[in-house]
Amino acid sequence: MSRMSDFLSDVKKRREELKAKRPSSFGDVKTSVQDNVIWKSIFRPGSIYRKGYRDTSRDRALAAMNNVLYHLHPVKVKRHGLKLTYTYCLGGLSFFLFILLTITGIFLMFFYRPTAGAGSELAYLDMRNLSASVTFGHLVRNMHRWGAHLMVFTVFLHMARVFYHGAYKPPREFNWVVGVILLTLTLLLSFTGYLLPWDQLAIWAVTVGTEMMGFTPVFGKQVQFVLLGGVEIGPNTLLRWYVLHVLFVPFVTVIFLAVHFWRIRKDGGISGPL
Amino acid sequence: MSEEVQIDQEVYDRLIAEGKSERIARAKAKAASVRKGKVAAGQELGPKSPEENQQALAAFRERSGGGAATAGAGGGAATATKEVPASRLSPEERAARVSASLGGNGNGGSIGVPASSAHTHRLLALVPPAGIQQVQSKQQDKVYTWPHLLIVEFVALLAMTAVVLVTSFFLDAPLGALANPNLTPNPSKAPWYFLGLQELLRYFHPMVAGVTIPGVGLIVLGAAAYVDKNPSAKPENRKFANMAMTFFLVMWTVFVFAGSFFRGPGFNWVWPWVDGLFFEL
Ligand code: HEM
């Protein structure tokens, strides 16, 4: 019997305690959310979301070191590199557009089937439906399209800025080569995507492009056959370019981007000052 | 052993005067003072000759009375079968020597490896100078990535999002009629970034315009970083490089513009303000 009453009084006491502890303001809620094992296991020391972040040199350093994304950066960067007129953010914007295109592209994939041919023009119909009846479908398609054109443009400008700063000079020669590969990949990404709406604009632009490649010395016809999945543009081409566009080229691009970013740091960070 | 090695002030001052870094000068001055101490104690410097090595070995064997050979009884059995040339220490002898030099404290006197073990050597790396990363970092004017850089990046990200969103809100991506392989539109144009090449098709054989020029162009572009041997990044020192690049960029832009806006039906020349635009993104 006494055991039972002990237990009950324990429970009561615990309840009182909890009541006393119950958060009463936003600050208390914040503290109790931040002050537990799970939160602390996610946000490593130096995270601004962790309890007790202070604006000290130590925590500023940890903020960059202990975050998977910020960790692309060194803890400290050259002051001149921050000036907008040094990089114009062009490399960063190219990368950001790549991310934006990945996100909008995944959205589009939910509503698109790469099928063409008499009686089953799904690709084209899906594009129509996307605009007509998918919530935000029209907007997201526009973003994907304009983002893609913009990325070709920013990558191009990034290359020009790197050139005019002589930022390709030793030890950065190889990263310049990686950059040229990235430029090629960016063009390929854009060009393979161009076919997917399967309208007149798409197939004739691609016809013109692949005809040029058909003039490759010696292997011309083979190159064209592989690219088109046949002697002329058709449903096979669409499937082929779809896979290239959503998987193969992005995959290769991500690898080269990783090398590109890694080399920036290994080559001693951003070049300059001039 | 643990007492701080004195610095040979004279050597230190000389090295500093020669412009050596403080770190190097300190290390060399320490080494000099150690060397001096050895000479003063009558020790010889530098590596021993083979004969001296043999003598030292014999002396050591004498001192340990041959007992060293049977020292590590445990591991000895396994290694005793191995032939060790007489001019070298057997593993047991080596262990005994290490143990002796460490004053034979409880754990067999060896560091990390039990004296009785057959593995009496520790792996210390010999690193060729070329294998060492030479870090010659000067003090630089640097700021913390967080918050300085990350905030700039975040603002750039927001601005770019705004640009893409607003553009997408007001401008629609084209979607023409269903693809029809039998109905060639006039003109048929490639995407804008290839229109420079398509423009070149008017002047060159397709193999030149469509394959050779872009292929060679990309290779030359990549090779430029190796061809340009001028170490300076200052614009005033690289007038030629900048002029050459500007020439190609302008030329390329002109071709893209020509192909985009000045080519109409049959890819013939048109004036956009007279005949209208034949261009789609
Ligand atoms: C997908 C395309 C690309 C992305 C996302 C990208 C991204 C970046 C980023 C974020 C930087 C840091 C500095 C800055 O923002 O300017 C950078 C630097 C650099 N990029 Fe790119 N890049 C791309 C294409 C290229 C191209 C086409 C080239 C040249 C042909 C190139 C050559 C370089 C070089 C040499 C640096 C080092 C510059 C320096 O240290 O000042 N990159 N890139």
CATH at B241: 1.10.287
Is the pLDDT at A55 greater than 90? The verdict is no
Top residue of A71, A163, A186, A210 to mutate, by most chain B CBs within 10 Å, is A163
Q: Say how many domains are in chain B.
A: 4
The CA distance from B241 to B234, in Å, is 11
A112 vs B97 pLDDT, higher one:
A112
Q: A180 CB under 6 A from ligand 1?
A: yes
pLDDT of residue B49: 78
Q: What is the pLDDT of residues A12-40, one digit of tens each?
A: 888 888 777 666 678 778 888 888 889 88
Q: What is the pLDDT of residues A240-259, one digit of tens each?
A: 999 999 999 999 999 999 99
Buried b or exposed e, range A175-196, using 16+ CB within 10 angstroms = bbbbbbbbbbbbbbbbbbbbbb
Q: A92 CB under 6 A from ligand 1?
A: yes
pLDDT of residue A65: 86
Instruction: Tell me the C-alpha to C-alpha distance, in Å, between residue B182 and each of A89, A229, A246, B143.
Output: 45, 18, 28, 62
- Please check whether residues B193 and B278 belong to one and the same domain: yes
Nearest to A256 by CA among B222, B211, B163, B249: B222
Mean of pLDDT values over B110-122: 58
Is the pLDDT at B137 greater than 90? The verdict is no
Q: What is the pLDDT of residues A260-269, one digit of tens each?
A: 999 999 998 8
Is the pLDDT at B81 greater than 50? The verdict is no
Question: A-chain residues within 8 Å CB-CB of B199?
Answer: none
Other beta carbons within 10 angstroms of residue B28's beta carbon come to: 17
- Please check whether residues B191 and B277 belong to one and the same domain: yes
Question: A-chain residues within 8 Å CB-CB of B144?
Answer: 57, 60-61, 64, 75-76
For ligand 1, the distance from its centroid to the CA atom of residue A95, given in whole angstroms, is: 9
Q: Among B157, B175, B193, give the residue marking a domain's end.
A: B175
Q: What is the pLDDT of residues B21-33, one digit of tens each?
A: 888 888 888 888 8
Please answer yes or no on whether A200 and B192 come within 8 Å at the CB atom. Answer: no
The CA distance from A195 to A235, in Å, is 11
Looking at the CA of residue A183, tell me the nearest atom of ligand 1.
27
Is B253 in CB contact (< 8 Å) with chain A?
no
Q: Give first-to-last CA distance, chain A, whole Å.
A: 85
| Residue B78 in domain | no
The CA distance from B11 to B9, in Å, is 6
- Please check whether residues B27 and B108 belong to one and the same domain: no
Question: B-chain residues within 8 Å CB-CB of A232?
Answer: 181
Give the gyration radius of chain B's Cα atoms. 39
* Cβ(B21)–Cβ(B135) below 8 Å: no
Mean of pLDDT values over A60-84: 86
| Residue B74 in domain | no
For ligand 1, the distance from its centroid to the CA atom of residue B172, given in whole angstroms, is: 30
| Residue B81 in domain | no
Among A26-35, A58-67, A200-209, A229-238, the minimum mean pLDDT is found in A26-35
| Residue B18 in domain | yes
The number of angstroms, rounded, from the C-alpha of B61 to the middle of its chain's C-alpha atoms is 49
CA distance A145 to chain B (A): 6
| Residue B80 in domain | no
Among A34-43, A156-165, A171-180, B160-169, the minimum mean pLDDT is found in A34-43
- DSSP H or E stretch at residue B144: strand B142-144
- Please check whether residues B8 and B91 belong to one and the same domain: no
Please answer yes or no on whether A145 and B281 come within 8 Å at the CB atom. Answer: yes
Provide the pLDDT confidence category of residue B105 given band limits of 50, 70 and 90: low
| Residue B28 in domain | yes
**Minimal Cβ distance to A78: which of B141, B152, B188:** B141
Provide the pLDDT confidence category of residue A98 given band limits of 50, 70 and 90: very high
| Residue B126 in domain | no
Return the ∠ at Cα A183 (arms to A165 and B160), rounded to 5°.
75
B223 vs B39 pLDDT, higher one:
B223
Mean of pLDDT values over A39-43: 88
Q: A64 CB under 6 A from ligand 1?
A: no
Is the pLDDT at B1 greater than 50? The verdict is no
ipTM of the complex in this document: 0.84
What's chain A's average pLDDT?
A: 90
Provide the pLDDT confidence category of residue B120 given band limits of 50, 70 and 90: low
- Please check whether residues B219 and B254 belong to one and the same domain: yes
Question: A-chain residues within 8 Å CB-CB of B280?
Answer: 201
Provide the whole-model pTM.
Answer: 0.74
Domain that holds residue B11: 1-45
Please answer yes or no on whether B218 and A143 come within 8 Å at the CB atom. Answer: no
Q: A179 CB under 6 A from ligand 1?
A: yes
Residue written as token pair 């020391």: A45
| Residue B167 in domain | yes
Please answer yes or no on whether A169 and B161 come within 8 Å at the CB atom. Answer: no
Please answer yes or no on whether B193 and A152 come within 8 Å at the CB atom. Answer: yes
In the stretch 222-241 of chain B, residues with CB closer than 8 A to chain A read 222, 224-226, 228, 230-235, 238, 241
pLDDT of residue A206: 92
**Minimal Cβ distance to B210: which of A124, A149, A213:** A213
- Please check whether residues B189 and B272 belong to one and the same domain: yes
Is B135 in CB contact (< 8 Å) with chain A?
no
Report residue B85 as tokens.
């040339």
CA atoms within 13 A on the CB side of A272: 23
Is the pLDDT at B78 greater than 50? The verdict is no
- Please check whether residues B14 and B41 belong to one and the same domain: yes
Most confident of A97-111, A113-127, B261-275: A97-111
The CA distance from B7 to B14, in Å, is 12
**A57 phi and psi angles, rounded to 5 deg:** -55, -40
Please answer yes or no on whether A201 and B148 come within 8 Å at the CB atom. Answer: no
pLDDT of residue B124: 72
Among A68-77, B102-111, B245-254, the minimum mean pLDDT is found in B102-111
Q: A47 CB under 6 A from ligand 1?
A: no
